[in-house]
Amino acid sequence: MPFRDIYGQEKQVTVLQSAMKRDRVPHAYLFHGIQGVGKKTTAQALAQALNCRENNADFCGRCPSCLKIGRGSHPDVVVIEPEGIFIKLNKIREIQHQIQFRPFEGKKRVFIITDADRMNDESANALLKTLEEPRPSNILILTTCRVHKLPQTIVSRCQKIRFNPIRPEIITSFLRDRVSMDAQPARTIASSAGGSIGKALQMGKESFLDFKNDMIEMLSTPLSLLSLADSFGKDRESALQRLDIFRGWYRDVLVYRELHDVEKLMHRDIADVTERFSKKMTGADILHNIKTIRDAQDAIEHSANRQLVLESMAFRLKVLNPG
């Protein structure tokens, strides 16, 4: 995807293009922001632009270099991702080995480290040594949703670019233009996505509206909480995505309880249900539920037994019949 087609991050793209035009690209970037706002997409676009044979501020998408990077087969663009919970030491050592040499065929060798906050201590220390001894023909791009979990010694050696949550109207345009979604569901999903195109796409794939309605029905009948755990998907990522929706809706309940303003809600399509719950639950109970869901997300992210975590969460939730 060329820079011009990246939605909602125009200022960030301008910063990158300006650095390229002035030949002042730093040896390391840190792209940070919530999940699904274009950090990895922009990192790949930068790798293509740096190595494009026909352009100096974007990429053509046609030359051999652009095509190889797009297919993930370019020898000078290396993507490092977590294996299980952590980014392991051997992956960082691969970077240390390759960085000693000039690029094989491109102008720059680009290492993209996604979810960089998931490096263990050994990996982080090894990367720090690499950042302390930069090589001019190598660029590192770290992406993270949790910049606070990265060692400050690493953060301080990168140029930081914050990727902002994307406005609902831009997400709506993306869903309509790129996935040919009808206007009404696109608007509904965009308003519920919390500024994340990635989350919006996931919602569209997973019958998000049906899940949300089923969730509300279960919460309306305390006995149905026994089956709540089964509604969060059959795999880790699906469970985490749906838990995020769940937590966001309780956030709406709290917001409406305090402000009585529908425009402040993420899930405006069920504002009537949110209003009824806000009148039946105390602020303390709502905060308890938000924390309970967050704890479940943390446990699943750290590879705890998904089913047990979700069942425990269901029993701990404070739920009242909205009447």
Which H or E element spans position 115? none
Instruction: Give the residue among 157, 160, 164 at the shortest CA–CA distance from 124.
Output: 157
DSSP per-residue string spanning 145-208:
S-GGGS-HHHHTTSEEEEPPPPPHHHHHHHHHHHS---HHHHHHHHHHSTT-HHHHHHHHHTTH
Task: Express each pLDDT in 282-321 by its tens digit.
Answer: 999 999 999 999 999 999 888 778 888 988 898 888 876 5
Of 66 and 140, the one with more pLDDT: 140
Across residues 64-92, what is the average pLDDT?
91
Task: Express each pLDDT in 100-126 by its tens digit.
Answer: 888 999 899 999 999 999 999 999 999
Q: Please name the residue ranges forming H helices in 232-304.
A: 236-259, 271-280, 283-301
Give the domains, in start order, of the chain with CATH numbers: 3-162 (3.40.50.300), 206-316 (1.20.272)
The pair phi, psi for residue 222, each rounded to 5°, is -50, -35
Rounded Cα gap, residues 5 and 70, in angstroms = 15
∠ CA(270), CA(181), CA(58), 5° rounding?
A: 120
Rounded to two decimals, the pTM is 0.81
Across residues 132-140, what is the average pLDDT?
89
Three-state DSSP at 128 gives helix
Kindly list the distances between the CA atom of residue 7 and the CA atoms of 37, 46, 164, in Å, as whole numbers in the listed order.
8, 15, 11
Average pLDDT over all residues of the chain: 88
Please check whether residue 211 is in contact with residue 241, taking contact to mean a CB–CB distance below 8 angstroms: no
Q: Tell me, what's the pLDDT at 317?
A: 87
Count helices and strands (H / E) in the chain: 14, 5
Three-state DSSP at 22 gives coil
Going 242 to 248 to 253 to 256, the CA torsion angle's sign is negative
